[in-house]
Homo-oligomer: A and B are copies of this chain.
């Protein structure tokens, strides 16, 4: 009936996303305890810190302290985010992190200019310089990311051809610098995707670059998150970014303020996959406990559904 993968990998971004957006302040000890708990769920990769300007993102001023406090567990890759060489140098100094090179492109120049104050030509130069920095520090190239791959608040519809063009530009840079990317990440940065556009875009990328691994980075702005994951699964996508409890979003912003759009929720993905026989390696009950822990730490409810509805395995166990 469809082409569902046997297993998928989840890159957990909850700590980095959540502690960045929450008004907080959230204590360093809480962040460490939370990451330690996440490490026990079976997740293979967790983004645990953001090395960005603490004046712009005060929630991550303690990035180094958090990383040094985490009990690094064997078999889990701990990653960090940086946006420039200064951040990268901080990440290099933070012991225990797995550093992966990535470069990024945007389908929409209007959004690129608004978001990074660069036009396409300038972005190309920045990305090439980025790769040179990776080389200098021995960081292997990993991911090419395409933002606004499904639509843009500033340009509107993004034709599939434009997504292919953006990937083409990444591939050119990768070839020029002899730094091939292993994964192309398609990001629904502003929550425009539907299951149909997921299938169209993923299908077109796959047809053009059959050897490339595709990752989906989906936001749940308009409630399409899990349906979009499902559409991705049907297209054979095996790699998803997500946030436990939907950290990074806030259901209370609501119609009364600017809505905060979170990533699609990790435990909801894990639940859907488990029920459909797709292996994630994650222990759902433990992950639900961590999602509830996230709510206690941030002090309010978070978007995820399965932590409210409960797992079915728990129900099954109660029946017999």
Contact = CB atoms under 8 A, between A and B. Distances in A.
A154 B226 CA distance: 26
Contacts of A315: 153, 156
Given A223-B268, A309-B223, A301 B230 contact: no
Interface in A264-320: 265, 268, 271-272, 275-277, 292, 295, 301, 304-310, 312, 315-316, 319-320
Contacts of A261: 309
Given A227-B272, A255-B292, A222 B306 contact: yes
A159 interface: no
B295 A255 contact: yes
Interface stretch (A11-19, A195-203, A209-217): A195-203
Contact of A268 (B151, B191, B222, B253): B222
A189 B255 CA distance: 29
A121 interface: no
A85 interface: no
B227 A259 contact: no
Contacts of A195: 227, 230, 272, 276
A14 to B, nearest CB: 16
Interface string A217-248: 00011111011011100000000000000000
Contacts of A231: 230
B251 A308 contact: yes
B309 A259 contact: yes
A192 interface: yes
Contact of A230 (B230, B265, B272, B308): B230
Contacts of A154: 319
Contacts of A192: 312
Given A153-B319, A261-B309, 9 more contacts: A157-B316, A195-B227, A196-B277, A197-B275, A222-B312, A223-B309, A227-B229, A254-B308, A255-B307
Interface of A: 1-2, 4, 151, 153-157, 191-192, 194-197, 199-200, 203, 220-224, 226-227, 229-231, 251-255, 259, 261, 265, 268, 271-272, 275-277, 292, 295, 301, 304-310, 312, 315-316, 319-320
